[in-house]
C-alpha cells in the first residue's frame, strides 16, 4: 500500500485490502470494510483517487484526533493530495467497498 501504518491499537477488524495493479506509475487497491472495520492510522505518501463501489458512511480520524464523517456515493470519485494521515472506519450498517488509485509518478514526500 502507498500508506505507512502509524498505530494499530484498536479492537476493530481491519479492512480487507486487495492489490489489483502495482507498477512504477500507479497502485490500485480494492478495500472492503465490513461494518465497524478500519484501515488503522496511516499516512498517504502518494496523491490518490477513491472510487466508491458502494454507498456508505465513513468516520475519518486525523492524527490530531479530529473526527469527520463522510458519506460515499457509488461511482462518485474524489481526489486527495499526499500527506494525509488518518484512520478510516466504516460506521455504516452495510459493507463498504471502494477502489483507491494511488498516483506514484508525481511522488514528493510531504
All structural domains of the chain = 3-103 (2.60.120.10)
Rounded-to-integer distance, Cα 100 and Cα 17, Å:
10
Across 34-58, average pLDDT: 96
Residue 3: pLDDT band with limits 50, 70, 90 = very low
Across 91-105, average pLDDT: 96
Q: What is the pTM of this model?
A: 0.84
Predicted pLDDT at 105: 78
Cross-strand partners of 57: 71
Asked if the model's pLDDT at residue 7 lies above 70, the reply is no
Q: End-to-end distance of the chain based on CA atoms, in angstroms?
A: 17
Predicted pLDDT at 50: 98
Predicted pLDDT at 13: 94
Amino acid at each position: 500500500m502507498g500508506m505507512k501504518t502509524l498505530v494499530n491499537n484498536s479492537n476493530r477488524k481491519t479492512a480487507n485490502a486487495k492489490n489489483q495493479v502495482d507498477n512504477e506509475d500507479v497502485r490500485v487497491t480494492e478495500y472492503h470494510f465490513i461494518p465497524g472495520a478500519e484501515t488503522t492510522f496511516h499516512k498517504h505518501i502518494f496523491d490518490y483517487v477513491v472510487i466508491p463501489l458502494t454507498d456508505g458512511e465513513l468516520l475519518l480520524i486525523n492524527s490530531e484526533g479530529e473526527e469527520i464523517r463522510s458519506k460515499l456515493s457509488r461511482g462518485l470519485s474524489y481526489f486527495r493530495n499526499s500527506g494525509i494521515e488518518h484512520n478510516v472506519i466504516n460506521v455504516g450498517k452495510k459493507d463498504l467497498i471502494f477502489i483507491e488509485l494511488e498516483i506514484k509518478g508525481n511522488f514528493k514526500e510531504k
